[in-house]
Amino acid sequence: MVRNDLVDIRTGIKAGRYVNEAIVSQGIVQRLLNVLGWPVYDPEIVAPEYSLGARRADYALCHPPREPMILIEVKQVGQSKGADRQLFEYAFHKGVPMAILTDGQEWNFFLPTEQGDYGERRLYKIDLLEREPQETESSLRRYLAYDAVRSGQAIEAARRDYRNAARKRRAERTLPDAWARLIESEDDNLINLLAEKVEDLCGVKPDSDAVAAFLRKQPLVSIEAASDPPQRRTRRPDQLDPLPAVILRALRDTSRTVSEGMREVLVMF
């Protein structure tokens, strides 16, 4: 069972058992590939030291045989920083749909052939010490199980998750511009909403000109600030809150006024 192996691997990482790349490769990567159903002793399917011209990837996971679907680069625990771009470039130039960089503890999943800048094409990151084994098993099965890769479901799920996350990023990046346009246009619904809130708090409703003047004085949120939220543990893309869908639903619901829909949206922030 994958979970039992993950528990044992976590214990080994904490104890410092995996002291170099070879041990990480054999004791963690091969072990997990094996329990995920990969025929690790068939070099036409799990190809070690796969040639990429002048360079090599530690593993190429192939389907059909000898046709790489996933490249894996293995590093010593704590030594993977900076190696992801090199792996990314290998996979991109070979047209391989998925690339994985791991030091045994951290697993970074990339979709090199998708759109977006380099950083955005990292689909997901797993830290075996930070995540519970049950959650890690679910993600590994989704993206890396042999049957899922062979059937095409793993790559399809990865691409779907990536595109959902990309849509969410676009919506979040557009929030500052949308907010700026509401302020600049002195949107009546926004002015009324703020005036009503003032009245709720102090019993006196300000006139529209006073509210509009107040809004004009407020600093606008920069795109950089809006796209750089406080650090928190990431979730798999298919587990992200569907914020854009919620916003669209709130504003699309014809049974409520626009002001009521806007209230629902603003409460989220």
| Secondary element (H or E) of residue 122 | strand 122-127
Does any domain span residue 213?
yes
* pLDDT recorded at residue 220: 67
What are phi and psi for residue 49, nearest 5 degrees? 50, 55
Given a cut of 70, whether residue 140 has pLDDT beyond it is yes
Asked if 48 and 145 sit in the same domain, the reply is: yes
* pLDDT recorded at residue 238: 60
pLDDT in tens, 90-137: 777 778 899 999 999 999 998 887 766 666 677 889 999 999 999 999
Given a cut of 50, whether residue 54 has pLDDT beyond it is yes
Helix (H, G, I), strand (E, B) or coil at 197: helix
| Arithmetic mean of pLDDT, 26-33 | 97
Please give the tally of structural domains in the chain: 2
pLDDT in tens, 226-266: 444 444 455 566 655 444 444 344 334 433 444 444 444 34
Asked if 232 and 101 sit in the same domain, the reply is: no
Does any domain span residue 156?
no
* pLDDT recorded at residue 86: 66
CATH of the domain at 39: 3.90.1570.30
Asked if 146 and 169 sit in the same domain, the reply is: no
d(CA 120, CA 166): 8
| Arithmetic mean of pLDDT, 31-48 | 97
Q: Which residue has the tokens 């679907």?
A: 69
**Which residue, of 151, 175, 206, is where some domain finishes?**
151
Does any domain span residue 235?
yes
262 versus 69: the higher-pLDDT residue is 69
Asked if 114 and 27 sit in the same domain, the reply is: yes
Asked if 46 and 132 sit in the same domain, the reply is: yes
* pLDDT recorded at residue 123: 84
Asked if 139 and 189 sit in the same domain, the reply is: no
pLDDT in tens, 143-189: 999 999 999 999 999 999 988 888 888 888 888 888 888 888 888 89
Full residue range of the structural domain in which residue 101 is found: 2-151
Q: Where are the alpha helices (DSSP H) in 203-257?
A: 208-217, 223-226, 243-252
Q: Kindly state the greatest CA–CA separation across the chain.
A: 77
* pLDDT recorded at residue 116: 64
* pLDDT recorded at residue 82: 61
* pLDDT recorded at residue 154: 96
Given a cut of 50, whether residue 216 has pLDDT beyond it is yes
Predicted TM-score (pTM) of the model is: 0.69
Does any domain span residue 158?
no
**Which residue, of 90, 122, 151, is where some domain finishes?**
151
Does any domain span residue 192?
yes
Asked whether 42 and 64 are in contact (CB, 8 A), the reply is no
* pLDDT recorded at residue 257: 42
Does any domain span residue 105?
yes
| Arithmetic mean of pLDDT, 192-215 | 91
Asked if 30 and 126 sit in the same domain, the reply is: yes
Asked if 12 and 70 sit in the same domain, the reply is: yes
Asked if 81 and 11 sit in the same domain, the reply is: yes
Does any domain span residue 159?
no
**Which residue, of 151, 177, 210, is where some domain finishes?**
151
